[in-house]
Structure 1
């Protein structure tokens, strides 16, 4: 199976042939995958070099001309480093584009903390009007990419990961999917967290919602699921900073007595590089530890 990032490169290269409005802006990272596409469309595939602020600035400029720019690099260089440009060159100017990231929270541990971005979604939450997709499978990444490209002039963030679920789900870029129902609480699994969550809740009487689009937050589906449960207790398992979506849960259930637990990547930096699965375990996001944390919270 190809990776999300490989699927992104292949699909975007085809879309460049089909859609004259589409453009791609790179900052060295990922350039080899777009060599042929750049040869066919030298005016719409731009590599600005290792200049991430310029990456977003050029994307904003292309959007002002009427193009639909896709800006791609590692999440730490796409959201954290050029955050001011996201705020001004896109948001303040009233134009949109598609950010497509790689490396996520710790997908490439050998790159060190400079290449990790567990705070990216929380940062975007401080800005207005962003749609955030977090696919859990390459097929979902393709579906959500196509959705983002076709989304008019909206501001969209597509967060790719090396971690994937075993099978894709029928995502639509809006709603949470109800994978199973139970009366003991609600567990919301975001993107690539689903596989570990399903392992963690095996045999438990809980509802499992799958979220591949987290902004806007699907409050309606969560409210429906919470109404089925004996108590409106909600656990959100996210592949970035823990608690990133607890405010959205609280807002969705503001008129309902409820409790919420946010599980995800902690603020403490894990300084040993290790491997992806070791980082998951270190953050308490492996199935065994998730089960302990979820049952400890939902237990009467």
Structure 2
């Protein structure tokens, strides 16, 4: 995903004069020619995320389409006040592309983790949040939203889906299969695992890559059982408000597979962390079996 994003940025800088790109010590080699050829529009700001967002807000106010790139916790946790006041409050647009989704940077420890990103961004009205599951989907979503004049967050991962790669549309969930016993919501890079578990199950699978704005309509039309399993690569429960809001006042039975709400103090590889926190096919299968029993 990262290479695809940086290639798209290079094309944008060379062909769209009203665009700028700023980074915090990320992706400079891939964009070395653009940094050299367009120094006024393509810059490495250094470790200065909060100041960078305020600076870009001023550019956005003048009609410039800005894209910034960095590590997810520093682009969201460190800059939350700037997101709220410089962009959401003033109704200004920016494209914020963050790598290191959840525990992708597993060996660097808790300072580089950001499982809270979806919840934090969704708390600020007017923001958008996109979580593609593949490089192709990143391009589809970025091209649809990068000029919409809103603060849009793109969560890119180093662990994309490798089996299932459907076309997606910004703001819409994808119906992957239909069934009667339950509805499984697969978010972003969790699609491969969900489809593997659900292949022989009489369940509906909805694939979400746009988490804000949330597609209420597709969920309400494809949940006959009122039983929902959410499989999400962020803090579990990040989408519960949207699910209840979309389903109205009907009673629901909901379970989740996601990261627990706790400080991550352990170390290990990405796969070891996924297994430790039970974001696995076995966990999905167990919770789905309990739900439809």
TM-score normalised according to structure 1 size: 0.94
RMSD: 1.3
Q: Structure 1, residues 89-123: CA drift from partner, whole Å, max 9, x if none?
A: 11222211111000010001111111110001100
**Match in the other structure for 2:262:** 268
**Match in the other structure for 2:226:** 232
Q: What is the alpha-carbon distance in structure 1 between the residues aligned to residue 254 and residue 283 of structure 2?
A: 18
Asked if the contact 1:98/1:158 (under 8 Å) is kept, the reply is: yes
Of residues 165, 179, 191, the one that matches 2:161 is: 165
User: 2:107 aligned with 1:110, yes or no?
Assistant: yes
TM-score normalised according to structure 2 size: 0.96
**Match in the other structure for 2:36:** 39
Of residues 63, 69, 82, the one that matches 1:72 is: 69
**Match in the other structure for 1:61:** 58
Q: What is the alpha-carbon distance in structure 2 between the residues aligned to residue 289 and residue 5 of structure 1?
A: 29
Q: CA deviation at 1:71?
A: 1.3
Of residues 204, 208, 220, the one that matches 1:207 is: 204
Q: CA deviation at 1:69?
A: 0.7
Asked if the contact 1:196/1:285 (under 8 Å) is kept, the reply is: no
May I ask how many residue pairs the two structures share in their alignment? 292
Asked if the contact 1:48/1:54 (under 8 Å) is kept, the reply is: no
Q: What is the alpha-carbon distance in structure 2 between the residues aligned to residue 79 and residue 94 of structure 1?
A: 18
Q: Structure 2 matches for 1:126-145, cutoff 5 A?
A: 126-145=123-142
Q: CA deviation at 1:196?
A: 1.0
User: 2:149 aligned with 1:183, yes or no?
Assistant: no
**Match in the other structure for 2:239:** 245
SS in 1 for 2:52: helix
**Match in the other structure for 2:10:** 13
